[in-house]
Amino acid sequence: MGDSDAMSVDPSRPSDKRRLACDQARALYQAGRLGEAREILEGLRAAGDMDFDVLHLLGVIAAGRGDIAQAESLVRQALSHAPGHAEGLRNHGALLRGLGRADEALAAYGLSLKAHPDAPDTHANLANLLNDLHRSEAALAAADRALVLSPAHAQALNARGNALRDLGRPLDAIAAYEAALAARPDHFEAQANRAASLMDLGRPGAALEGYGRAAALAPRAVALAGRGNALAALGRWTEAVQAYDAAFAADPNEPFLAGARLHAKMKVCDWSRWDADTADLAARIEAGAPATVPFPTLAAPVPAALQRRAAETYVRRLFGEDGRAPRTPGPDARIRIGYFSGDLHAHATAYLAAELFELHDREAFEVTAFSFGPESPDPMRGRLRAAFERFIDVRPLQDLAIADMARELRIDIAVDLKGFTTGSRPGIFAQRAAPIQVSWLGYPGTMGAPFIDYLVADPVVVPPSDVDHYREKLAWVAGCYQPNDRRREIAPIPTRRADHGLPEAGFVFAAFNNAFKITPQVFAVWMRLLQATPGSVLWLFEDGGAAVNNLLREAAARGVDPDRLVFAQKAALPVHLERHRHAGLFLDTAPYNAHTTASDALWAGLPVLTVGGETFAARVAESLLRAQGLGELVAPDLAGYERLAMALAREPEKLAKLGPALAAARSQAPFDTPALTRDLERLYRTMHARRLAGLRPDHIPPGAR
């Protein structure tokens, strides 16, 4: 967060009768008595005394009242009386920056520095503007020039920290912010920015304390929202909602706040004001406001076109549009693939993709893992280390250093397995780690980023008619885009219903998705199913005490005994897969489907009922089912979903008929991992060939399996 640029008035002007009036107005302004100062100046202007001092000070007062447009007009008029006035030009630059007129602001600062090259305030203001434009190296140079002239300049130190943070140097940024705070302990922006850098370093506890200090200085939305972000990272979701509510009360237009607040409420199944909150979020995105980070749009009723707009707004604000030029690829014997992830351990992504990594054609492809997640001693980590020719732990490195490493290793295609999920590092790709950059598997939607060339999908999750909703070019595989590891073990020791808190008799509806995917509309369907199916229970994943309590309360409000909701605890994957046999039907969520949870259920032999949707995230379960020849389990809408679920629960013979199809499908897509591997490699070859030929990325149609 940059400072508001300093606005100042020069007190050293000669005095006559008019000058005395100006001096009096200036003193009143500096005492915070803006109305009285303005009254004196307007009197001078009415008498025809309109020189630089009168107009300039009127402009400064207008800026103090928050009327930036009028302030800019007045200062511009003042400069017509003194075109080379350094202070006036600096203030004009600050006002132009506030109006979003960056090029004009740069010109004004340039003229101001030409008139007064050694003004530290102007260099600091210029650094703020260059940070806005993501010209971080230039911003750092401007801040450093200000600090040569004034070593304890708090605004310049804060700007220096912002430039370093944007360059992926959070430790150096923190040092700059702490120097700013040593110079001026009440510097709100430095305190809040220091906390944000601690979040960058994965230290939410320390960040929470830092945001608390910032909020104590001024209860501004950025600090209150930062507290919410830190609490969310700590898993304290109820407190996060409270912090976001406080931030929203302070300023509902705080960047990315509306989406963060809605997501936090969804994490705890707090559906108060659901219709109003979701409509408000969609309206903000449509208006082009920076309303949310991209991920919350996947689970909210936000159409694909607005998901793209939200992602593009987010990326533009974080990285700008002008990225680093890619390395020129060469026609080497093998295509070098780099997979980048923070989930290369016992994680859903690894459970899906481990076998595919192992099956890559090593005569045609060199495969490297860049792991920026935690070091974990679990068996999956060991398996993945063996699956790659190189497994590089890049966790301590900054984004630029990781990108430089990939360039030095001559990676041809960088595959982002995280997108905008928790722990993602899109800054690596903003620094152009490879000539071709691909989003696959980790994020079911567009990244909206100019530095991501392709999105791997299939014709179900992204039909050709929907390509305009994605900034990337689509690279389609023929079957389901989601890989599955055929080595996933199901615990061989059978359990009993009682082991899981299930009744001995009665139909079991399972819904093992994360709680934030449950919407009030879907939950209402589930409650009607329980009411229409005597003795049945709903088996949910236990996703935090607040979510459990709210779901129990919502059930009671809909006339359902809360005891009919049973919560499954987290378990090792083989145990989790085994317990599926106690359920009769897996009920999917919408608009964010079951993804890994759906393939787990199908692998364990449990039928999945889904509803067709309009976005990538809303079609993954459909893709899995159609790949298995189980399209009859895809309902066209929630009403059809409810009718089909009721029919299957009431007529067990219909479910029994699905058993052989489920068993047979385990050797077909989406569990035919060798076929998907070859198809993905076809896409990589096509991408690489186009790049070698000097062609821009373009859609790659599905090939034959």
Mean pLDDT in residue range 130-153: 97
Q: Residue 366's pLDDT band (boundaries 50, 70, 90)? A: very high
Give the C-alpha separation, 329 to 11, whole Å: 60
- How many residues make up the chain in this entry? 705
If asked whether residues 633 and 538 sit together in one domain, one would say yes
14 pLDDT above the threshold of 50: no
15 pLDDT above the threshold of 50: no
What DSSP line would sit under 686-698, residue for residue? HHHHHHHTTPPP-
Name the nearest CA neighbour of 146 among 91, 175, 109, 173. Answer: 109
471 pLDDT above the threshold of 80: yes
Domain's final residue, options 117, 147, 172 = 117
Q: Which amino acid belongs to residue 60?
A: V
If asked whether residues 470 and 532 sit together in one domain, one would say no
Question: Is the C-alpha dihedral spanning 601, 605, 606, 612 positive or negative?
Answer: positive
Q: Does the residue 107 lie in any domain?
A: yes
Q: Residue 87's pLDDT band (boundaries 50, 70, 90)? A: very high
The answer to whether the beta carbons of residues 609 and 635 sit under 8 Å apart is yes
Owning domain of residue 50: 1-117
Domain's final residue, options 91, 117, 143 = 117
Torsion region of 288: left, alpha or beta (phi above 0 gives left; psi -120 to 50 gives alpha)? left
pLDDT, tens only, 310-321: 999 999 999 988
If asked whether residues 409 and 361 sit together in one domain, one would say yes
Mean pLDDT in residue range 626-647: 96
Residue 32's contacts (CB-CB under 8 Å, 6 or more residues apart) are: none
If asked whether residues 453 and 543 sit together in one domain, one would say no
Q: Does the residue 431 lie in any domain?
A: yes
If asked whether residues 407 and 550 sit together in one domain, one would say no
Q: Which amino acid belongs to residue 481?
A: Y
Average pLDDT along the chain = 94
Domain's final residue, options 444, 476, 508 = 476
Give the C-alpha separation, 129 to 135, whole Å: 9
Give the C-alpha separation, 502 to 567, whole Å: 9
Give the C-alpha separation, 113 to 141, whole Å: 14
Q: Does the residue 209 lie in any domain?
A: no
The b-or-e profile of 303-323 (16+ CB within 10 A means b, else e) is bbbbbbbbbbbbbeeebbeee
Q: Does the residue 635 lie in any domain?
A: yes
Percent of the chain residues topping a pLDDT of 70: 97
Give the Å distances, CA to CA, from 328 to 1, 410, 530: 35, 9, 60
Q: How many domains is the chain partitioned into structurally?
A: 3
Q: Residue 255's pLDDT band (boundaries 50, 70, 90)? A: very high
617 pLDDT above the threshold of 60: yes
11 pLDDT above the threshold of 60: no
Sheet of 335-341: strand order equals: 390-393, 365-371, 335-341, 413-416, 436-439, 454-457, 473-476
pLDDT, tens only, 285-319: 999 999 999 999 999 999 999 999 999 999 999 99
Q: Residue 705's pLDDT band (boundaries 50, 70, 90)? A: very low
Structure confidence at residue 37 (pLDDT): 83
Q: Does the residue 242 lie in any domain?
A: no
10 pLDDT above the threshold of 80: no
Q: Residue 323's pLDDT band (boundaries 50, 70, 90)? A: confident
Give the C-alpha separation, 451 to 435, whole Å: 10
The pair of three-digit structure tokens given for residue 488, joined into one six-digit string:
């996933």
Name the nearest CA neighbour of 669 among 572, 603, 617. Answer: 603
> CATH no. for residue 466?
3.40.50.11380
553 pLDDT above the threshold of 80: yes
Q: Residue 168's pLDDT band (boundaries 50, 70, 90)? A: confident
Q: Does the residue 229 lie in any domain?
A: no
If asked whether residues 99 and 35 sit together in one domain, one would say yes
Q: Residue 326's pLDDT band (boundaries 50, 70, 90)? A: confident
If asked whether residues 451 and 502 sit together in one domain, one would say no
Q: 110: how many CB neighbours lie within 10 A of its CB?
A: 14
> CATH no. for residue 509?
3.40.50.2000
Q: Which amino acid belongs to residue 4?
A: S
The answer to whether the beta carbons of residues 71 and 83 sit under 8 Å apart is no
If asked whether residues 516 and 651 sit together in one domain, one would say yes
Mean pLDDT in residue range 3-17: 60
Q: Does the residue 4 lie in any domain?
A: yes
Mean pLDDT in residue range 211-238: 98
Mean pLDDT in residue range 496-501: 97
Name the nearest CA neighbour of 597 among 374, 423, 351. Answer: 351
663 pLDDT above the threshold of 50: yes
> CATH no. for residue 24?
1.25.40.10
Burial environment of residue 386 by CB neighbours within 10 A (0 to 12, 13 to 18, 19 or more): exposed
The answer to whether the beta carbons of residues 556 and 626 sit under 8 Å apart is no
Structure confidence at residue 49 (pLDDT): 66
If asked whether residues 442 and 523 sit together in one domain, one would say no
4 pLDDT above the threshold of 80: no
561 pLDDT above the threshold of 60: yes
If asked whether residues 425 and 503 sit together in one domain, one would say no
Structure confidence at residue 16 (pLDDT): 67
Q: Residue 544's pLDDT band (boundaries 50, 70, 90)? A: confident
The residue behind tokens 């219903």 is 497
If asked whether residues 454 and 554 sit together in one domain, one would say no
Q: Does the residue 704 lie in any domain?
A: no
If asked whether residues 472 and 547 sit together in one domain, one would say no
Compute, in degrees rounded to 10, the torsion defined by CA atoms 35, 41, 47, 49. Answer: -170
409 pLDDT above the threshold of 80: yes
The single-letter DSSP state of residue 480 is -
Mean pLDDT in residue range 359-375: 97
pLDDT, tens only, 46-68: 777 678 888 888 888 888 888 99
Name the nearest CA neighbour of 173 among 189, 187, 158. Answer: 158
